[in-house]
Chain A
Amino acid sequence: MRAFSRLLERLYYEPSTLAKERLLLDYFKATPDPDRGYAVAVIAGDLSLPNFKRSMVLELIRARVDPVLLSMSYDYVGELSETVAHLWPGNSEPEAEDLPSLSDVVHALRHTSKADLPAYVTGMLDRMTSPERWAFLKIGMQSLRIGVSARLLKQVLAKFGDKPIDDIETLWHGVDLPYEQLFLWLEGRSERPAVHEALTFTPVMLAHPLDEKDFGLITPEAYAAEWKYDGIRVQVVNSPLGRALFTRTGDDISHTFPDVLAHLNFHAVLDGELIVMRGDKNGTFNDLQQRLGRKAPSSKLIADYPAGIIVYDVLALEGEDVRPQPHAARRALLEAALTHHKPDAMKLSPELAFDSFEALADMRASVVNTPVIEGVMLKRRDSSYVAGRPTGPWYKWKINPKLVDAVLMYAQRGSGKRSSFYSDFTFGLWSGNQILPIGKAYFGFTDAELVELDKWVRHNTIQTFGPVREVKKELVFEVAFDAVHRSTRHKSGYALRFPRINRIRWDKPAQEADHIPALEALIAR
């Protein structure tokens, strides 16, 4: 546990991917099974610890710290594990006792009963230094955020065993904790573990944003174009072993969308965009949100927000892996299969015909306010389907954002990287002689601007409501967003999709900010 805590501490502050790789490789080399396998699971967020609840941690710390000081501390630090790690009574003398191994800790966290867990956690926190407490709580709450993606972890494992990353990608979701089989194979001490018994996720292919310097590459001969839909990327699988629906990161969301799963009436692995689909009409992301995260949707919810897939690629068809085939060939196979089987609520993503780059740019510019379409996808016709984000075969070209000038109204301290600064901003537009809130944003500015904003907020507060500060209505933000729709959440009657702060208009008087009707002009049609 101590070695793992030190690893997390180093990884947390290490900005360079290369150095992160080095730290992980050294750890895997120096750490025995099953600890290193549990470390992989913890870092990848693959552990399930249902008894370890955030509320339990809150209760433990509330019993030990004055409530006002606790809330001020939490507000300042912006993150529960770290707040508790720092506040937990006891000395900060370094490393007084031996700690149990990581596998012992994980075992205890998984198998201690709900009633006994608080006593176990207390006993552990009492024996630890502040950084160790942080690591322990992060493990328990399964929220490390140390800048190590699943992709990076797989790369490190591939390097560790000198194996192709595709093999790791495929095995990843097919072997069990604590991955002893995987490590045996990586160290050349056993055969490749068999995974065909399980229904597995096939890693997806991702696109790079299209930069201006690459415009010249885009010709109708080389690239096929289609719309980029504003839903969630999914992989739907139907095989002799059963059916499953995965997110682009391999999370199984089959239970959330039983309707979609039922529609796929042939054996295949398909890649597409999950959206709400009412007959021929595509729903907005806002519609889809009604369905996301519902583990057991009611039949009424399914009827009100029926989900479907806009299919754009095929990875396997009737048991054959078609990923090595070029995009044009895969698309032909997909089109034929969909025409033949006619599954409900599964539409082929139409190809956009264009004869020049300029014509494509015009098409993209002609999309008005984008409730469903958020840009253009470009796929090289001769490219095979490759896991990860290779440069060249796929590009995404998003539609330019909408802009309004809004006035800062309230600020709140952020969390994570922006904690301890006022970095969550609520802003509004004029309605007559008052300002009504239209949304909230917490990024889009630089760290240097954040320091200035934080200072401005602290010096221009007119009143505070708990953690929220109301400020003088004097600072204008140019807010960028992807779309706007009507909503009852804000008093203004509008809500923005993906708002971010485009520019801080220190120069612009608040009187010159935009009025609410400006949004009506931009609304989704």
Chain B
Amino acid sequence: MHPKDWIEITRRGVLCRPGAVYIDPVQPVADAIVTHGHADHARSGHGRVFATPETLAIMRARYGDDHARTECPLAYGETVEIKGVKLSLHPAGHILGSAQARLEYGGFSIVFSGDYKRRPDPTCVPFEPVPCDVFVTEATFALPVFRHPPLDSEIARLLASLRQFPDRCHLIGVYALGKCQRLMMALRAAGYEDTVYLHGAMVRLCELYQDCGLDLGAWEVVTAENAKTLAGKIVLCPPSALQDRWSRKLPDVLTAAASGWMRIRARAKQKGVELPLVVSDHADWDELTATLMDVGAPEVWVTHGRDDALVHYATKVGLKAQALHLLGYEDDSE
């Protein structure tokens, strides 16, 4: 049976009807498959949660041990049956533990990519193309103007600015889960050995990454005592803290942000960013279009983001394509 006959878009999220299980539901449900730990995809209060052990660890760190009634950990490639629907999770390369969800029922298979990228990232297992009948792709950066530059060159710009303005505290807005840790590892790879200072909101997730064996180098939390001494240092905070009272205690702040949106000048400016770093954990246009080819599914459904451009492209290269209008996933959550 074709997935269009057993997959349904509801207010709670995408429902697999025969399995009575939702994928990344935005409201509490009995059975949920969670692709990754970002807050708009992983919410608390579900009955059973099917996810990778890393994603479940992230959910425990964010919401506490009772975030769901029952945890159902699934390793990459492992298969479980839910009321006749076969479910397996496969690496998505987005953040630690991120997965694509493959569902098989009635002789047809569908893969939900969740969020993904194709660039190397030492904090997670690389994306694997999974053959299927229908591929459901994200479209956060699905416009050809989005072509993320190499991470090395963005890190080099940051380090050049630190040399040019050695008295200014370089405060970088980064998503607390994934971007923060990837940026720290990239700084280490570029030879930056100084202590990196963190907003309190980053701490638990950095510890969790370290518990998973990822070396983030020396870091410390910004405190009322050390804040004044951070001229010429790198401080990481959630994007929302950039313009917050919190950042006022830091000396002569140079505001930076690491996100795929920084490619668009007006966006960077709207956020008051002086040093925009184009660093993304989502696929850019070239990666999205290459992925449609690599997966090779004859039919593509496009979810959150700029779906119209990707649907247009997919149709033009001979695929059957349509947009799923999902609500509740934030465009900006990068």
Smallest CB gap from A78: residue in B: B266
Q: Are B144 and A73 in contact (CB under 8 A)?
A: yes
Stretch in B16-24, B50-58, B210-218, B304-312 with 4+ CB within 8 Å of A: B304-312
Interchain nearest-CB distance for B263 vs A (Å) = 7
Question: What residues make up the interface of B, taking CB atoms closer than 8 Å to A?
Answer: 143-147, 149-150, 153, 156, 263-270, 272-276, 306, 308-309, 312-313, 316, 327
Is A14 in contact with B309, judged by CB distance below 8 angstroms? no
- A87: chain B residues within 8 A (beta carbon): 144-145
- Measured in the bound complex, the distance between the Cα atoms of B272 and A15 in whole Å is 8
- A420 CB within 8 Å of chain B: yes
Residue pair A12, B265 in contact (C-beta under 8 Å)? yes
Q: Knowing A13-B275, A15-B274, A77-B264, say if A69 contacts B269 (CB, 8 Å).
A: no
- Please state if B266 and A420 are interface contacts (CB–CB under 8 Å): yes
- Whether the pair A69, B150 counts as a contact (CB closer than 8 A) is no
- Among B153, B275, B306, B316, contact of A66 (Cβ-Cβ < 8 Å): B316
Closest 8 CB pairs of A and B: A86-B145, A419-B266, A73-B145, A92-B149, A72-B309, A13-B274, A94-B153, A68-B312
Q: A69-B312, A87-B145, A94-B149 are in contact. Are A82 and B265 (CB under 8 A)?
A: yes
Q: Which residues of B contact A79 (CB under 8 A)?
A: 265-266
CB distance from B16 to the nearest CB of A (A): 25
Also in contact, A417 and B149, with CB within 8 A (given A13-B275, A15-B274, A69-B309): no
Kindly state the separation between the CA atoms of A416 and B267 in the bound complex, as whole angstroms: 10
Q: A76, B147: Cβ atoms under 8 Å?
A: no
Known contacts being A66-B316, A72-B143, A83-B145, is A14 close to B263, with CB within 8 Å?
no
Chain A contact residues: over half helix, strand or loop, or mixed?
helix
A15-B272, A420-B266 known; A73+B143 contact, CB < 8 A: yes
Q: How far is the CA of A83 from the CA of B276 in the complex (A)?
A: 17
* Nearest CB on A from B17, distance (A): 25
A14-B316 contact given A79-B266, A419-B264, CB 8 Å threshold? no
A134 to B146: give the CA distance in the assembly, Å.
15
- The verdict on A69 contacting B143 (CB below 8 Å), with A13-B273, A92-B149, A93-B150 known, is yes
Measured CB to CB, the nearest residue on chain B to A81 is: B265
Docked Cα-Cα span, A83 to B263, in Å, equals 11
List of B residues within 8 angstroms of A77 by Cβ: 145, 264, 266
Known: A12-B265, A72-B308, A73-B309. 20 other contacts (CB 8 A): A12-B269, A15-B272, A65-B144, A66-B316, A68-B309, A69-B143, A69-B144, A69-B313, A76-B143, A76-B306, A79-B266, A86-B145, A86-B146, A86-B147, A94-B156, A130-B149, A134-B265, A417-B269, A420-B266, A420-B267
Residues of B within 8 A of A419 (CB): 264, 266
A447→B273 CA distance, assembly (Å): 14
Query: A85-96 toward B: CB 8 Å interface, digit per residue (1/0)?
Result: 011000011100
Q: Which chain A residues border B269 with CB–CB below 8 Å? A: 12-13, 417
A196 close to chain B: CB less than 8 A: no
A447 & B145 in contact (Cβ 8 Å cutoff): no
Complex CA distance for A447 and B275, rounded to whole angstroms: 20
CB of B198, distance to nearest CB on chain A (Å): 24
Interface presence of A459 (CB below 8 A): yes
Asked if A459 contacts B274 (CB within 8 A), the reply is: no
Closest residue to A418 on the B side, CB-wise?
B266
Identify which of residues 405-445 in chain A touch chain B, using a CB-to-CB cut-off of 8 Å. 416-420
What are 13 sample pairs from A and B whose C-beta atoms fall under 8 A apart? Answer: A12-B265, A13-B269, A15-B274, A66-B316, A68-B312, A82-B265, A86-B145, A86-B263, A130-B147, A417-B270, A419-B266, A420-B264, A420-B266
Give bound CA distance, A420 to B263, whole Å: 12
Q: How distant is A345 from chain B, measured CB to nearest CB, in Å?
A: 44
* Whole-angstrom distance between the Cβ of A271 and the nearest chain B Cβ: 35
Please name all residues of chain A whose beta carbon is closer than 8 Å to the beta carbon of B144 when the two chains form the complex: 65, 69, 73, 86-87
A417-B266 in contact (CB<8A) = yes
| B264 → A minimal CB distance (Å) | 6
Tell me which residues across on chain B come within 8 A of A83, comparing CB atoms.
145
A452-476 at interface with B (beta carbon < 8 Å)? 459
Cβ of B327 and Cβ of A14 under 8 Å apart? no
**Residues in chain B near residue A76, CB distance under 8 A:** 143, 145, 264, 306
CA distance A420 to B316 in the complex (A): 25
Q: How far does the alpha carbon of A185 sit from the alpha carbon of B218 in the complex, in Å?
A: 53
Query: Which single member of B153, B274, B308 contacts A14 (CB below 8 Å)?
Result: B274
Find A459's partner among B266, B306, B313, B327 (CB 8 Å cutoff): B327
Give A68 to B147 CA distance when docked, in angstroms: 18
Whole-angstrom CA separation of A94 from B156 in the bound complex: 11
Closest to B156 in A: A94
Q: In whole Å, how far is B315's beta carbon from the nearest beta carbon of chain A?
A: 10
Residues 382-426 of chain A, each 1 if its beta carbon lies under 8 Å from chain B, else 0: 000000000000000000000000000000000011111000000
